Each structure stands twice: as structure tokens, then as C-alpha cells.
Amino acid sequence: MTIDSSLKEADHKMEQALAHLREDLSSVRTGRASGSVLSRITVEYYGTPVPLNQLASVNVPEPRLLVVQPFDKNSISQIEKAIQQSDLGITPSNDGQVIRLAFPPLTEERRKDLVKQVHHRAEEGRVAVRNVRRHAKDDMEKLEREHSISEDELSRGEKELQKLTDRYVASIDEVQRHKESELMEV
């Protein structure tokens, strides 16, 4: 293992942490309807848990309305039940063909709760990036102890690692700011 391979691996893992945060935050409900809020919902379909997006198409005909159209009409009651049991806090209405999810405007209190959730999840992302940095730094120090690299190379590697960490933390901060502004938009 070299410093460059250690930095490459750290970069890859930090990118994964950022991607995970983006995916996680996409499921946080904002004031407008988005199909991504249903991405984590699984439906009990013939005894097997199946992701909702494999059982139905999701459309956004209006800013505050989601329409879920099941591919199999027999699954409509299971889909409706899964949505009710989720943490969305939305009651679905079903006309036998499609399920409609009307998103009420968020109250000020609910917005603040969601902003706290976003803060918490972003902090988890920053912690994940720092953990990657710590492991990569440990790997580099091990290489230096084994005399595979010099102290100067270790110092250079640590500086590069810190630049990488700073870049990803800044990206996480930007994702967090964007989501918060989306939430506070009335």
C-alpha cells in the first residue's frame, strides 16, 4: 500500500458517505411532493417485502400531490397499508385504480423538526468522513513506522488527506444548507 492508494481509497469512501447523505436527505419530506420520499417504503407483496418503486409508478401531477399507480391492481391495499405504516405522516386515499398522497403545507414547528433531522444526518455524514480520514491517517502512519515511506512523505500525505476531508465536509455543508432552505421555503 502507498500513500496515493490510501488517498484514493479515502476519496472513494468519502464520496460514498456524501452520496449516502444525499440519498438519505432526499427522503426527508419538504413542502412539495417528491417521489423520493417513497424510496424507502417496502410493501409486503405475496409474503415478500418488495420496494414500492418495483410495484408501482409514482407521478407528481401537482406540487403537493403524488399519484401512485400500481402495476398490479390487487396490490393496491398492501401499498396503501405500507404508506400508512411509514413515517411519512400522510394518509393515502385510494379510488381502486390509483393512490393519491396529498402533502399538506408544513407547519412552522414541523419545519423546525425536519431541519433538526437534517442537521443530525449531516453531522453523521461529517463524522463518517472524519472516520475515513482517521483510518487513512492510521494506514499512512503504519507505512511510516514500517519504513516504507519517509516522514516527509507522511507529512505530504496527511496534508493531502486534510484537503480531501475539508472538501467533503464543505460539500456536506452545502447539501445541508440546500436542504434547509428547501424546508424553510413556504
Q: Is the pTM of this model over 0.75?
A: no
Q: Are residues 61 and 120 in the same domain?
A: no
The H or E element spanning position 64 is none
Domain end: 102, 120, 137, which one? 102
CATH number at residue 7: 1.10.132.20
Single-letter amino acid, residue 58: V
Read off the pLDDT of residues 91-104 as tens digits, 9 standing for 90 and up.
Answer: 888 888 889 988 77
Report the domain count for the chain: 2
Q: Are residues 117 and 177 in the same domain?
A: yes
Q: Are residues 95 and 111 in the same domain?
A: no
Q: Are residues 129 and 168 in the same domain?
A: yes
Q: Are residues 17 and 42 in the same domain?
A: no
CATH number at residue 81: 3.30.1360.40
Q: Are residues 178 and 112 in the same domain?
A: yes
Domain that holds residue 177: 3-26+107-184
Read off the pLDDT of residues 121-172 as tens digits, 9 standing for 90 and up.
Answer: 999 999 999 999 999 999 999 999 998 888 999 999 999 999 999 999 999 9
